[in-house]
Amino acid sequence: MKLLAVNGSPHGSEGGTARIAGWVADGACSAGAEAETCDLAALDLGHCGGCGRCMRAGSCAIEDDLPRVHAAMRAADLIVFASPTYVFHVSGLMKDLIDRSAALFHRPPLEGKYGAVVTSSAGMGESEVIRYLGLCLEVLGAAMVGAVWGTYRPPTRLWDPAGVRRRAEQLGRDLVGAAQEQRAYPLRDEVVSKRRFLRELIWQNRKIFREDFADWRARGWFDRLPGTYPTGRREWPPER
């Protein structure tokens, strides 16, 4: 079982976020997983130019390391999104990855995988980061197992390091346990509503998003979205 930690800190493996993500990986490894880290700071990763080619053609116009990150995400069973809290949100590096991954949200590639979030902060805004990265993982298809954060007092003094480490290692073990048991997490309303929106978007633009349309049809998601109950009738397209 493979765990991939995607770290969006500009400090890479030297930063406070990597330290906590490393403890999650340690916990997962102690439960039998193999762990790999993808430090975005060490990669060549440009900004999204907003051209929309990824959505039309399935690949980005910028030639850089993005395909390597996506391949590593597809190959992993467990995915940790790790970012420092920057002005109540994720780092620019992490946001670049997410924006450059916009087409993946149309065709969720992380179905069947389990995810978790790590952030480090000075104590303000970490819940926004956890909420956002968790939502991204879930809309990408992963089941959200949990999150862990640590508060640093500048520059590098972590509050309650033993407690953060214990929670992080436990989260790593939980990730492995969830995958081993194939634990089923109910989809949250917010995730289902995002999928409903995407279904409408893809349906209305099916001549442009041909591949997305074919993918959703193959998944049966026009008939019934995961996380919704069978109604005994076709759910989509609605009668108007």
Ligand X SMILES: Cc1cc2nc3c(=O)[nH]c(=O)nc-3n(C[C@H](O)[C@H](O)[C@H](O)COP(=O)(O)O)c2cc1C
Applying CB under 6 A, the residues found at the interface with ligand X are 9, 11, 15-18, 84-88, 120-125, 152
The CB-of-122 to ligand X minimum distance in angstroms stands at 4
Residue 189: its H or E element: helix 189-204
Count of alpha carbons within 13 Å of 166, Cβ hemisphere only? Answer: 5
Select the residue whose beta carbon is closest to ligand X and give its number: 15
Report how far Cα 87 is from the mean position of its chain's Cα atoms.
20
Which of residues 154 and 186 has its CB atom nearest to ligand X in the complex?
Answer: 154
The CB-of-192 to ligand X minimum distance in angstroms stands at 30
Which of residues 127 and 180 has its CB atom nearest to ligand X in the complex?
Answer: 127
The CB-of-159 to ligand X minimum distance in angstroms stands at 11
Cβ distance 158 to 151 under 8 Å? yes
Three-state secondary structure call for residue 15: coil
The CB-of-216 to ligand X minimum distance in angstroms stands at 37
Which residue in this structure is represented by tokens 């279904």? 199
In whole angstroms, give the CA distance from residue 195 to residue 111: 13
Which of residues 85 and 101 has its CB atom nearest to ligand X in the complex?
Answer: 85
The CB-of-87 to ligand X minimum distance in angstroms stands at 4
Which of residues 155 and 232 has its CB atom nearest to ligand X in the complex?
Answer: 155
CA distances from 206 to 71, 82, 203, 211, 223 (A): 26, 34, 5, 8, 16
Which of residues 42 and 57 has its CB atom nearest to ligand X in the complex?
Answer: 42
In whole angstroms, give the CA distance from residue 33 to residue 3: 7
In whole angstroms, give the CA distance from residue 86 to residue 177: 31
